[in-house]
Chains A and B, each alone.
Chain A
Amino acid sequence: MSGLAAHLPALQVVVPLFAAPLCLLAGRAGLAWLIVFVASCLATATAAGLAYQTFQHGTLSYPLGGWAAPWGIEYVVDTANAFILLLVSAISTVVLMYAPASVDREIRQGRRHLFYCMFALCLTGLLGIAITGDAFNVFVFLEISSLSSYALIALGGHRKALTASFQYLVMGTIGATFFLIGVGLLYMMTGTLNMADLQARIPAIQDSRPVLAAFAFITVGLALKAALFPLHLWLPNAYAYAPNVVSAFIAATATKVSLYVLLRFTFTIFGAKFAFLDLPLHWVLLVPAVIAMFAGSFSAIFQRDVKRMLAYSSVAQIGYIVLGIALSSAAGVAAALIHIFNHGLMKAALFCALGCIFHRIGSVRLEAMAGLGREMPWTMAALVAGGFSLLGVPLTAGFISKWYLIEAAFEAGLWWLVVLVVLSSMLAVVYVWRLLEALYFKPVPEGRAAVAEAPLSMLLPTLLLAAANIYFGLDTRLPVEMAQSAATILIREQIW
């Protein structure tokens, strides 16, 4: 490879990073949007290029600034993180298409270019976490994405957005600090921060107390960032009070990236034998995952604010993903990765549709949304498609997730887990149906003026996401093949 193609790994992060200060300099919302949008499009193209290169040449290694690893920072791209990069950048691009109308409605004039600046930083952070092959560098990007998302959430219109952001800041910082302590302990014991080196050196000292402590700190820290029950408390408020664009973007990507790092550390760096056979990670993940599936869905049923409802639903869905990880088999990890992808699609579609509704009626509470089915048919179509995907109705992406998860559980011989998965998915039927009944059956509340369909610039991206939910329920080659190949790359030692 030569020319530009050889530098794609660096460009993946550098392009959105440079978009951020440019936004600040631009000073105007329209121009700032254009800069971020172009950067995001380029990032998507880069991610697609990287995915193609990994299929052609296998794992790519890129020494940043020409400093060879382990002295310099190394970017490593294989199918696993190419998959995540593609998801994050593609969702970001679609959400940005949707952003201008929504941002104009929700964010005060004069702050809009700052919003785009933060968005670019958040995107940079998430892409950086996924691409880097250096454990400390993960922390750096984790902080970039976290700090920018605290700011993004605080920009939400409601005053409670500030407390939501503060709550997230406190818990997120604890999570990041835990992760940093873990990485520090590993550095103390091995003298390296490069992931490949860590992987080579840990087995010799894996029974030492600092390594065990490091593993615990890293797992808990990442579980906090990924909002695994019971460390999810920051999530409902953060999603509910953030601007709609931010809810859509963060719900679809942020927790997913943390889960990817969890996968990378558990299966590649520490190894499945250490994590699942020497240590009881199986149960440590399985029990919270199952409780999350039920508690998340159960809480969702009682929410009257639909954004909060979807936030709790996310807690449950993260449970499904972690369940796949806890199975610790190739099939389980593949199922987790497939659901990371599909859940990103469905939550992005749903939050975008809610953003359209908010744009028109200024609320996303169930009672305010009553009877909208007739007035905003296209938005509702997207909402129904996203909702069906969330339920796992056949021919939607959600069904494919459910199929692989159940298949993996059967293969592991855990039939009782199958029972729990299907039972908890029935709870999703209840809350999704509450929403659909409100939209289609309840009469229009008094005093609400007739509303028109959302503006086209918001509607089209929403419909695009909804269509993606159906497309990836039919043609599953991209997510399934990438996830299966990623699972075999991530798991360096088979334990089943």
Chain B
Amino acid sequence: MSGEWLILGAVGLPLLASLLIWLTGGSPNQRETVTLAAAVTLFVIVGSMLPLQLAGAPLRVELLSPVPGVAIAFEVEPLGMTFACVASFLWIVNSVFSIGYMRGNDEPRQTRFYVCFAIALGSTMGLAFAENLFTLFLCYESLTLSTYPLVTHHKNDEARRSGRTYLALLLGTSVVLLLPAIIATWVLTGSLSFEAGGIMAGKVSPLVGGILLLVFMYGIGKAALMPMHRWLPAAMVAPTPVSALLHAVAVVKAGVFTVVKVTVYIFGLDYLRELATADLVLYLAGFTIITASVIALRQDNLKRRLAYSTVSQLSYVILAALILSPLSTMGALLHIAVHAFGKITLFMAAGAIYTAAHKTEVSQLAGIGRRMPWTMGAFAVGALSMIGVPPAAGFLSKWYMLLGALQVEQFFAVAVIVVSTLLNAAYFLPIVHAAFLKPEASGGQEPTGPGHGEAPLPIVLALVTTAAGTLLLFLFPGPALELANMLVGR
């Protein structure tokens, strides 16, 4: 199969699957088979692109041009390849988890859930492979709109309120800031293509470029740079599989992915060094990392704590991109992959706890590790990855970020990374500690009385897989590193 068809397959397959899921909605077993089959096929398609990409074969396809000179076009490059690999692999795992969770909790409207999920994945693939900002914007918006029904899945007042926040911030920032920034880029440079080294140097004055950088950074609301982060905690009203794949991987990574794409391929690292606001964005990212971690410390609701942790971890990627050294750019790419595996594990563990024990607060988790050893074991691995301790993969990306920061003597970034690592430890380790070492708060009952055990098998299977992935990524980082090297042209 030629490269063109592979790309079209990767983008089109989830969309086709959403249609099939809708048609088979009457029979849950058939419907879930379609989801799983689509997820596996998608991963095979994306996986088969990897060798081609590593061999340096050009993979490109151009569709129609809604605006003359600006085409809907897709091209595979290292960053997008990484993102697509991670997202498509985790879709398989998350689908297994979804089946366990949605059935275990008797959730309503499951067909709509799977349909929207597939559309969201299709948008993610399109975004990952977008050849230009125009295509990326289309997929970015379609990702927002396809996840809205998932966020408001429960259709109650809280869901509706959160849905409004979600849309207002994501649609608002993208329409008010991102779209004008893209059109301004088009008017100023006459191009929207992602090109190695950027397209702005020599065409846009540093003053205008500096303003554009800020507009881009705040326009990409999905990257959750403070104060545009509030949609992410709001999105936690969604069922946990949505939080796990979309609000720990697809949607938020789409945000930071766009940030890295824009910094590397639109501005270019050399041009960014001329801009006065590049440092400002770096400080904003540092501020977000620390502040979000502090807020996370104070959250008792487990999913909200994870959400704020995500806000903080996303800004690592922005920080790494703005350190402006090739090593830290590699760190940014690695962190997109690494954080995805770690955070999805944590969310799936939260979902497992909810399904088995109906507990949502951190303070209720004392002793739960003995009832749910697999779940909490995986949780511990995910937590270690967030902190950045070997043998979890989180160490890898932090290592590259620190190396890059030291290389260009960006000591602010070094300090932020060190302090936030301590904060990460402070809000994750007590959970692990309580779960395994504290006695169960029984409220007068015998702790050994009949209660819940592990979560349903599909859930446990899914979260153990991603936890194992977190460890394996540390032990065998080969392909990821190779892609990262390609990104910075080494």
Contact = CB atoms under 8 A, between A and B. Distances in A.
B448 to A, nearest CB: 45
Interface string A384-396: 0000100011110
A406 B175 contact: no
B186 A426 contact: no
Contacts of A480: 67-68
B137 interface: yes
Nearest to B138: A394
Contacts of B152: 441
Given A395-B138, A473-B66, A474-B64, A423 B176 contact: yes
Nearest to B145: A393
A433 B141 CA distance: 16
Interface residues of A, number: 30
Contacts of A440: 155
A147 interface: no
B187 A394 contact: no
Contacts of A429: 167-168, 171-172, 175
B180 interface: yes
B6 interface: no
Interface string B156-191: 000010001001100110011101100110110000
A469 to B, nearest CB: 13
A328 interface: no
B142 interface: yes
A406 B155 contact: no
B167 A410 contact: no
Contacts of B141: 393-394
A475 B67 contact: no
A5 interface: no
Contacts of B68: 480
Interface in B103-120: none
Interface in A405-449: 406-407, 410-411, 415, 418-419, 422-423, 425-426, 429, 433, 437, 440-441
Nearest to A397: B66
Contacts of A433: 164, 167
A476 interface: yes
Contacts of B179: 402, 406, 422
A323 to B, nearest CB: 15
Nearest to B157: A441
A400 interface: yes
Contacts of A425: 175
Contacts of A404: 67
Contact of B160 (A388, A392, A426, A441): A441
B175 A411 contact: no
Nearest to A407: B183
B315 to A, nearest CB: 25
Contact of B175 (A395, A422, A474): A422
A476 B66 contact: yes
Contacts of A403: 67, 183
Contacts of B186: 407
Contacts of B64: 474-475
A400 B183 contact: no
B184 A400 contact: no
Contacts of B66: 400, 473-476
A406 B67 CA distance: 13
Contacts of A418: 180, 183-184
Interface in A273-305: none
Interface in B122-149: 137-138, 141-142, 145
A476 B175 CA distance: 21
A392 B183 contact: no
A426 B141 CA distance: 14
Contacts of A393: 141, 145
Contacts of B167: 429, 433
Give the interface size bracket for B toward A.
20 to 34
B183 A406 contact: yes
A476 B67 contact: yes
A407 B176 contact: no
A404 to B, nearest CB: 8
B142 A422 contact: no
Nearest to B172: A426
B155 A441 contact: yes
Nearest to B66: A476
Interface string A471-484: 00111100010000
A475 B64 CA distance: 7
Contact of B67 (A400, A415, A419): A400
A476 B67 CA distance: 7
Contacts of B176: 419, 422-423, 426
Contacts of B138: 394-395
A227 B327 CA distance: 59
B157 to A, nearest CB: 9
A388 B167 CA distance: 13
Interface in B44-84: 64, 66-68
B187 A407 contact: yes
Contacts of B180: 406, 410, 418-419, 422
Contacts of A406: 179-180, 183
Contacts of A411: 187
A81 B67 CA distance: 23
Nearest to A388: B145
Which of B141, B180, B184 lies at the interface centre, i.e. has the most chain A CB atoms within 10 A of its CB? B180
A423 B173 CA distance: 10
Interface in A442-496: 473-476, 480
A424 to B, nearest CB: 10
Contacts of A394: 137-138, 141-142
Nearest to A433: B167
A480 B69 CA distance: 13
A426 B168 CA distance: 9
A428 to B, nearest CB: 10
A393 B176 CA distance: 13
Which of A403, A407, A423, A425 lies at the interface centre, i.e. has the most chain B CB atoms within 10 A of its CB? A403
B15 to A, nearest CB: 12
Which of B142, B160, B176 lies at the interface centre, i.e. has the most chain A CB atoms within 10 A of its CB? B176
Nearest to B187: A410
A410 B67 contact: no
A392 B67 contact: no
A476 B137 CA distance: 18
A335 B324 CA distance: 39
A423 to B, nearest CB: 6
A293 to B, nearest CB: 14
A265 B167 CA distance: 43
A392 B137 contact: no
Given A429-B167, A429-B172, 15 more contacts: A388-B145, A394-B141, A400-B67, A403-B183, A407-B187, A418-B180, A419-B180, A426-B175, A426-B176, A429-B168, A433-B164, A433-B167, A437-B160, A440-B155, A480-B67
28 contacts: A394-B138, A394-B141, A395-B142, A400-B67, A402-B179, A403-B183, A406-B180, A407-B183, A407-B186, A410-B184, A410-B187, A415-B184, A418-B180, A418-B183, A419-B180, A422-B175, A422-B177, A422-B180, A425-B175, A426-B172, A429-B172, A429-B175, A433-B167, A441-B152, A441-B155, A474-B64, A474-B66, A480-B67
Interface of B: 64, 66-68, 137-138, 141-142, 145, 152, 155, 160, 164, 167-168, 171-172, 175-177, 179-180, 183-184, 186-187
Closest 4 CB pairs of A and B: A394-B138, A410-B187, A422-B176, A406-B183
